[in-house]
Amino acid sequence: MKLVIAGGGTGGHLFPGIAVAEEFLSRSSENEVLFIGTERGIESRAVPAAGYRLEIISAAGIRGKGSFGKLKGGIQMLYGYAQSRRVLREFQPDIVLGVGGYASLPVVMAARGLQIPNFIHEQNAIPGMSNRLLARLTDRAFITLEESIRYFPEQKVLLTGNPLRRQILGMQKSEAAEGAVDFLVPSPGSPFHIFVFGGSQGAHAINTAMVAALPFLKKQDTDLEITHQTGEKDCEEISAAYRAAGVAARVTPFISDMAAEYAKADLIVCRAGATTIAEVTACGKACLFIPFPHAVDDHQRRNAEALLKKEACLMLLEQELSGEKLAEVIVELIKDPKARLRMRQLAFSLARLDAAKIIVDEMTRECTA
């Protein structure tokens, strides 16, 4: 069978697509996958790097743009629709899955026009523009969180969770037997590892707050190990700030092997993108979320609140973020291994590890029915 995965833009949309591709390809050596995305999205680098084929189309957002921007975006989308039809006619997929992001809209619309079974996956508590427009048009909508159920027709929606890549799922297998993560508390005296990252692009506000927190963190008496993913723009500056503060850290713009970093972490400080949340819960990690306040409809805050109401994480809003506050929360957690352990267990209890499997089962069942 042949599957097209459309969309991306950011890692949060793309990586669940890669997780579905991995699952689909594992079912038969004859299966084929093609990704369709845009030139400026993360897919243009990450898809070839992961060994998949990618077709580029034109697509752009129109939300929040002036009338010229809307017109330009509309024209790009129409062009993207024509390109999608051509790519789908050539590749002849049995199934098309839109994973959100601008490019998913023209491709899923084209699939619908060509009567190819088409599906969408929504990662967030509040759906993005493409998935809202496709909600009523697609054959089936897979969702990550119960909170988004009301945006989709009842007979089309299926709660699956957010598909996780094998590098993340592999952690459960390697860390502990029988699918459970290892909840051992690090032995006294071993360094406390903080993993800071700001979603697939890095987060300037988290970067600067963490640097401002360093003098306060230095004062406490636990040995710290820090890995800090900054995004491309801030890397040099943040690296220099750690050196100036005399705090050893691995500072890097992007991390390819996220599973390795998750495995080492005693505490994760990060944005509350939907895929980040799916991953950190699957790894059963103590997490302090700092939601991106400008995400569409404040959906990152909603994503984090879904966990917060189950006491499975901590959350700091950007308007209350300062170096001192951040250090205070981190130090409290360092000192309270019981609270961390409880948070980890609650987080893990909310994880869904079988989303990719369910989605591939459903898509193949519906298109062979």
User: Residue positions in the annotated binding site for UDP-N-acetyl-alpha-D-glucosamine?
Assistant: 10-12, 124, 165, 200, 255, 300
**Residue 96 backbone class (left: φ over 0; alpha: ψ -120 to 50; beta: rest):** beta
CA angle 193, 197, 198 (to 5 degrees): 160
254/348 with CB nearer ligand UD1: 254
Contact between 235 and ligand UD1 by CB under 6 A: the answer reads no
Candidate residues 4, 107, 295, 314; the one interacting with ligand UD1 per rule CB under 6 A: 295
Q: Does 289 bind ligand UD1 (CB under 6 A)?
A: no
Q: How many other CB atoms are there within 10 angstroms of residue 348's CB atom?
A: 20
The interface with ligand UD1 within residues 166-225 (CB under 6 A) comprises 197, 199-201
Ranges within 104-163 binding ligand UD1 (CB under 6 A):
123-124
Q: In whole angstroms, give the CA distance from residue 123 to residue 143.
A: 6
Q: Which residues are annotated as a binding site?
A: 10-12, 124, 165, 200, 255, 300
Please report whether residue 273 would count as binding ligand UD1 according to CB under 6 A. yes
7-15, 50-58, 132-140, 304-312 -> range binding ligand UD1 (CB under 6 A)? 7-15
Q: Is 271 in the site for ligand UD1 (CB under 6 A)?
A: yes
Q: Which of residues 247-266 bind ligand UD1 (CB under 6 A)?
A: 254-255, 258
Residues that bind ligand UD1 (CB under 6 A): 10-13, 15, 100, 123-124, 197, 199-201, 229, 254-255, 258, 271, 273-276, 279, 292, 295, 299-300
